[in-house]
Amino acid sequence: MGYNLLLCDKEKALHVELYRDEHHITQVESMVAISNHFKQLEHGPEKLDDYPNSFERFEAIKNEIEDFVSLEDVFNTLKPIHGNEQGKYWRTGSFFTVSSSIVDLDTHAIYYTSSPTEEYSRISGHIPPKGAEKVFIEMSRYIDLPTYHKIEKGHPFYKEMLEEIHGRINDFYQNDSEGNGKLKTLELGAGTGLCSLELVQHSFLELDCLEIDNECCNILREHSESSNYKVVLGDAVTYCKPHHYDLIISAFAHDHIHFDKRFAFARNIYNNLREGGRYIIGGEILPYFSTENDRKKALFKYHNHIIDIALDDNRIQLCELENNALKSGLDMVGDFKRHEAMFEEEMNSAGFRMIKKDKMGPLNCDDVGGIFVYVFEV
């Protein structure tokens, strides 16, 4: 029996082919696809008729990989749940492939799934434990969470955004016609709890903090204030308690949902709210764009403006964090900022009515985007 192995540590990744007393080791230094199809040793299928599925899968992978520009492309291509045919990339026939791994050579992270129907999860370089496919990662893929939690409040206009969110919450509570006790509240994309720790200052909120990233959830549970909210591990696109919540809030979280899922996401927010319920969102909005190239230019314009402000305030770590955010947006890994018309289109498509819209900043220029607070009602 022959083996195709992928060995990884914090310095390098190796592809090892073994058959009897033969072996071949290749250091993986760039984007490459590895299947059960041996490349260096003479073992296994040698021509198409020997095992058509093996040759067809390998050819499909070679063709696709040339167009990949980010990890998100890899995840979306390999997962049949994203609309792809399972047999195109996963071994089929008398027996089938039961696992897949992806290595990010930049961060030395390993992502693993035990099934074509499960999302990838980050694994720390050892054989994945039973149940590892149920571990989800998102923001921790590209951001150092402790650093983020420590400095993100210094983000230009973040303080103003939180103050506006506080005001909109108070207004809703005071004017709510169904104001019987606490407001059932869901925070989307709670992350490390920056906004959560603000929300618990409102004693009238019964708060659920929804977050898809396990590492973020662990941080949420460690805060001393965690007894004042419930941590929920889940996907904001699919998590739903129909018409349960009075209020849904997100801060710097809405644009973590991929463009492909934005209409389903908006509809799911709507379905979680009772009639008369509200969605309050604080987020970053880009200048208008119509093409992929324009989107990248808009990202550069917005993030570089924020970096300039941070530099003026001598916030060097924040500049580094903003650079990481820019990269994640360019690579389409976890950051999918909309422009105003795009964002409002998806909310309107779900049936929301916009109650209020305010720009927190920058207020001295209109062509770089900025931080906005919106209020929508069911």
Query: pLDDT per position in the chain (378 positions), as tens?
Result: 677 777 777 677 888 888 888 888 888 877 777 776 777 777 777 777 777 777 777 777 777 777 776 666 777 777 665 556 666 777 766 666 667 788 877 666 777 777 776 767 666 544 444 444 455 667 877 788 888 999 999 999 999 999 999 999 999 998 875 555 899 999 999 999 999 999 999 999 999 999 999 899 999 999 999 999 999 998 999 899 999 999 999 999 999 999 999 999 999 999 999 999 999 999 999 999 999 999 999 999 999 999 999 999 999 999 999 998 998 899 888 899 999 999 999 999 999 999 999 999 999 888 999 999 999 999
User: Rounded distance, CA 322 to CA 325, Å?
Assistant: 5
Residue type (1 letter), 191: G
Q: For 15, which DSSP code?
A: E
Residue type (1 letter), 39: K
**Which of these, 301, 132, 272, 286, lies nearest to 208 by C-alpha position?**
272
User: Rounded distance, CA 373 to CA 251, Å?
Assistant: 9
Question: What count of residues does the chain have?
Answer: 378
Strand pairing report for 2-8 and 13-19? antiparallel
The order of strands in the sheet holding 2-8 is: 2-8, 13-19, 22-28
Burial 302-316 (b: 16+ CB within 10 A, else e): bbebbbebbeeeebe
User: Rounded distance, CA 163 to CA 199, Å?
Assistant: 11
**302 near 247, Cβ under 8 Å?**
no
Look-up: residue for tokens 């920058």?
A: 362
User: Rounded distance, CA 141 to CA 163, Å?
Assistant: 29
Q: What predicted TM-score, i.e. pTM, was given to this entire model?
A: 0.67
Strand pairing report for 183-188 and 245-251? parallel
Query: What residue spans define the domains of the chain?
Result: 2-135, 145-377
The C-alpha angle 323, 328, 332, rounded to 5 degrees, equals: 150
Q: What is the per-residue pLDDT for 332?
A: 85
For residue 169, give both structure tokens. 């919450």
Composition of the chain by helix, strand, coil, percent to 5: 40, 25, 35
User: Rounded distance, CA 305 to CA 311, Å?
Assistant: 10
Q: For 144, which DSSP code?
A: -
Sign of the alpha-carbon dihedral angle for 228, 165, 262, 145: negative
Q: What is the per-residue pLDDT for 73?
A: 72
User: Rounded distance, CA 236 to CA 224, Å?
Assistant: 25
Please, what is the angle between helix 340-349 and helix 262-272, to 10°? Answer: 50
Q: What is the per-residue pLDDT for 290?
A: 95
Does residue 128 have a cis bond before it (omega within 30 degrees)? no
Kindly state the helix (H) or strand (E) to which residue 216 belongs, with its residue range.
Answer: helix 214-222
* C-beta pairs of 1-6 under 8 Å, 24+ apart in sequence: 2/38, 2/41, 2/43, 2/44, 4/34, 4/35, 4/36, 4/38, 6/34, 6/101, 6/103
Q: What is the per-residue pLDDT for 25?
A: 86
CATH of 145-377, one of 1.10.10.10, 3.40.640.10, 3.40.50.150, 1.10.20.10: 3.40.50.150
- Cβ neighbours for 95, distance < 8 A, ≥ 6 positions apart: none
Q: What is the per-residue pLDDT for 253?
A: 96
Largest CA distance in the chain: 78
